[in-house]
Structures are given as structure tokens and as C-alpha cells.
Copies of this chain bind each other. A is one copy, B any other.
Amino acid sequence: MSDWSEHYATRVSHMQASEIRELLKLLDQPDIISFAGGIPDPALFPREEIAQAYQRILGDPQLSAVALQYSISEGYLPLREWLAGYMGRLGVACTPENILITNGSQQALDFVGKLFISPGDSMLVAWPTYLGALQAFSSYEPRFDVLPGENSNRTLESYTSQGAAKPKFGYVMPEFQNPTGTSLSLAERERLLDTAAELDLPLVEDSAYEKLRYDGERVPSLLALAAQRAGGIDHCKVLYCGTFSKSIVPALRIGWIVAAKPVIQKLVLMKQASDLHVSTLNQMVMHEVASARIEDLAANMRRVYRARRDAMLAALDRHMPKGIHFTRPEGGMFVWVTLPEGIDGAELLKRCIEEGRVAFVPGAAFFADRSCRNTIRLSFSLSEPAKIDEGIKRLASILKLEMAEMTHAA
């Protein structure tokens, strides 16, 4: 084999394989109960509606000539028009010129990294935060710092003191965060916007799980609040990333960014240079399915996932030993478990797979510095309630063994 290392850009040394991705392979073994992947249940996919949309578009000579041809980088105009209305119903007044269609929200994250980060720039994330965001941003070689908030004791002054590099942007998932499942309250969102204003810090709001609220009141998005403060979306510095992956299907790879027009204009150039445009046909299909069905499809998903969330919290209450803390999310797909100090999530996983045939994601990967090894992420989206109870029971029994052995060793 040739040696390639001297040829690569410096960024390549920051690219690491995802632990989640390796773990997804475990889903293929039928005796494993997996709480690992944060993926939707394919039984909830609107297969027939999607098939009908493809058939209708490809059955029409005029529509199909458009659907199969190159198209503009901004995205299919009727889809952007529909999204402008959808965002309006979420309290964000905007036009199609405020919207770029992306290959899922992962590409939106890649693009904001590409837009804001030069090598060595500082940027702010929660601790822990979404692993895929860390991977996307890492390609642009930032230094990660802690976003101010309840999990941080950083003062505002520490970001602006002499010698401190001004952070380029902050990334935040205010609703049912991956991995913790927790949300920011209205007061926390207002405080974050205050801080961002003090630092003149653009915020990137990842709203991937927005449709999956199972209880509690809806809280306005950061973009809605910021636009209200600034007198309109074109005057505020929040970029909003949405996706159909969690509300309809992932595999059409369609997400979107909403932001001030000058930012969208730059992102359109980036889209053009990166891959020209999202599949025209898939955008047309998604427009048909979303405009006709998104609310009742999401309602059905909420009904199914709420029962699974309830089952997981009940099982954790029932089976977990004392001293184990876990979140009680109002939506999304995840519960975040903090283990006793000294228990390593990755070690626990190995034992759980071997001895208990149950899987999850160790928490360290969600920290930019890989700290906090005594954490794990559980996803409840893929399993029936009875299976969830059985899986948590297995996990808890192995955890008890670990804790007993740790006490014994000490």
C-alpha cells in the first residue's frame, strides 16, 4: 500500500470513525436489544404516500422532465414556499429567500462549520452535544469551548477577556437535545440570546426533534425569539436547521436552513460548490408528502414514541439501582444516564453486549474533549415497550454487578 499521510490536509487528522456508526452494525443481530442508534422506526414510514408521489411525478412528462434534470442550488421553490409557511406557523416570519434545502440537517451542520470556521477559530458547544455536529465542525479545525448555560460555570467575561479568541458561533439544540433529551426553558433561551447579543455571537439552532414533543408546552424557537427581538429574521443572527428525517423519512435526505438572506446567499454558493443541489425528484416528492401529511404523520409518531419513552422511564424507575441519575425528556428519542464515578460507559457496553445482549452508546463521544466517561445514551425509538423493559432490566443487572465489583475492589 502507498503511504498517503503526507498528502492529506491537516484536517484529516481530526477525522475519527463514529462509535455510533460502528454500533449500528449490532442492530443486525436479532438477539440484541439495541438502545444505540437514534433512528426512526421504519414501521412508521409513509411508504404508500411516498410511492404515490413518485408515481404521480414520474407519470407526468412535464413534471418528470423537471424532476430528473439539474436544478437550482437554493432548492425546489414550491418546497421552500411551503417551508416558509411552515416556519411562519412556528412563529418565524420568512420568505423562500430565507431558506436553503440541504441533504438532511447533517449537511446544514457541515455548511455552518464551513461558513464560519477557519482553522484555529474558537466555537461554542454544549457539554455534551450532538456527536454528528462535533464531526461536521471538526473538519474545519475549530477549538471547541463551552457554551454558557446551566452545565457551564463560564462567565461572560471569560470569553471577552484579553487574549481570549472571540468565538465564531455557538451550536445549540434547544429541544430534546441529542444526547441528553433535555430542553431549554423559555427563560434559558432568553438568557442564551442575551449572552449571544453581548458577545455578538451567531447561534446555530438545531431543531431536528421539533415535531417529537410528547408532553409539556411548546416553547418558541431561538430563531423566533431572536427575530422578534431584532425586528425580523433578516436582522437577527440565529441560523435554524430543520429536517424531515425525524418527522417523515430520513432516506430522501432533505433538511433546510432558515437564516437572514445574506447568509442564505453565501450558503447557496456553498451548496453549488459542494454538490450542486439536493435531488430534484426527492424534493418534489417531499413537498407533496409533507404538505399533505406532515401533521398527522407526526401525530402518529408521537403516539408511538411517547409510549416507548414512558416504558423506558418506567423501566429505569423499576430496575435501576440507587445513585443512578437519568433525564426525563419531554420529547425526542433519548434518555441520558449518569453512572457512578469510576464506571466507564464503554467498558459497560462491552460487558452488556457480551453478557446481556443489550446495546447503547457510551457518553464520552458526545463531549468535545471526550471527558465524562461515566455516561451513556439510551434511545427508545426502535423497540416495543415490553422489549424496552427487558433491555433495561438486563442493563441494570449488569450495572449492579459492575457497581458491586467496584465496591469490592475499593
Interface residues of A (CB under 8 A from B): 1-2, 4, 7-12, 15-18, 21, 24, 37, 39-40, 42-43, 45, 47, 50-51, 54-55, 58-59, 61, 64-65, 67-73, 102-104, 106-107, 110, 114-119, 121, 132, 135-136, 138-140, 168-169, 202, 230, 234-237, 245, 249-253, 260-263, 266, 269-270, 272-282
Q: Tell me the bound Cα distance from A236 to B21 in angstroms.
A: 29
A42 touches B15 (CB 8 A): no
B47 touches A262 (CB 8 A): no
Known: A121-B9, A237-B2. A68 touches B55 (CB 8 A): no
Contacts of A50 in B (CB 8 A): 58, 68
A45 touches B21 (CB 8 A): no
Most central of A40, A110, A116, A274 by chain B CB within 10 Å: A274
Known contacts A1-B235, A18-B272; can you find 18 more A-B pairs with CB under 8 A? A2-B234, A8-B116, A9-B121, A17-B269, A24-B72, A40-B69, A45-B64, A47-B58, A50-B58, A50-B68, A51-B59, A70-B250, A103-B276, A106-B275, A132-B276, A135-B272, A139-B273, A253-B276
B51 touches A69 (CB 8 A): no
Contacts of A138 in B (CB 8 A): 273
10 A-B pairs within 8 Å (CB atoms) are namely A1-B262, A2-B235, A16-B269, A50-B68, A68-B249, A68-B252, A69-B251, A103-B103, A138-B273, A252-B281
Q: Which residue of B lies closest to A277 (CB)?
A: B253
Q: Tell me the bound Cα distance from A253 to B237 in angstroms.
A: 32
Contacts of A121 in B (CB 8 A): 9
Q: Tell me the bound Cα distance from A9 to B202 in angstroms.
A: 13
Known: A54-B51, A272-B21. A281 touches B12 (CB 8 A): no
Known: A110-B273, A110-B274, A269-B16. A68 touches B260 (CB 8 A): no
Q: Tell me the minimal C-beta distance from A203 to chain B in angstroms.
A: 11
Partner of A71, one of B4, B251, B278, B281: B251
Contacts of A69 in B (CB 8 A): 39-40, 42, 45, 249-251
Known: A10-B118, A119-B118, A139-B114. A104 touches B169 (CB 8 A): no
Known: A2-B260, A116-B9, A121-B9. A70 touches B251 (CB 8 A): yes
Contacts of A104 in B (CB 8 A): 275-276
A279 touches B266 (CB 8 A): no
Q: Tell me the bound Cα distance from A281 to B42 in angstroms.
A: 13
Q: Tell me the minimal C-beta distance from A81 to chain B in angstroms.
A: 18
Q: Tell me the minimal C-beta distance from A134 to chain B in angstroms.
A: 9
Q: Tell me the bound Cα distance from A65 to B51 in angstroms.
A: 12
B139 touches A234 (CB 8 A): no
Contacts of A272 in B (CB 8 A): 18, 21, 135
A274 touches B136 (CB 8 A): yes
Q: Tell me the minimal C-beta distance from A227 to chain B in angstroms.
A: 12
B273 touches A253 (CB 8 A): no
Q: Tell me the bound Cα distance from A235 to B67 in angstroms.
A: 41
Q: Tell me the minimal C-beta distance from A221 to chain B in angstroms.
A: 18
Q: Tell me the minimal C-beta distance from A130 to chain B in angstroms.
A: 12
Q: Tell me the bound Cα distance from A169 to B6 in angstroms.
A: 12
Known: A9-B114, A279-B251. A107 touches B235 (CB 8 A): no
Q: Which residue of B lies closest to A168 (CB)?
A: B7
Q: Tell me the bound Cα distance from A262 to B15 in angstroms.
A: 13
Q: Which residue of B lies closest to A280 (CB)?
A: B251
Contacts of A263 in B (CB 8 A): 4
Known: A58-B51, A70-B251, A260-B2. A12 touches B275 (CB 8 A): no
Q: Which residue of B lies closest to A107 (CB)?
A: B275
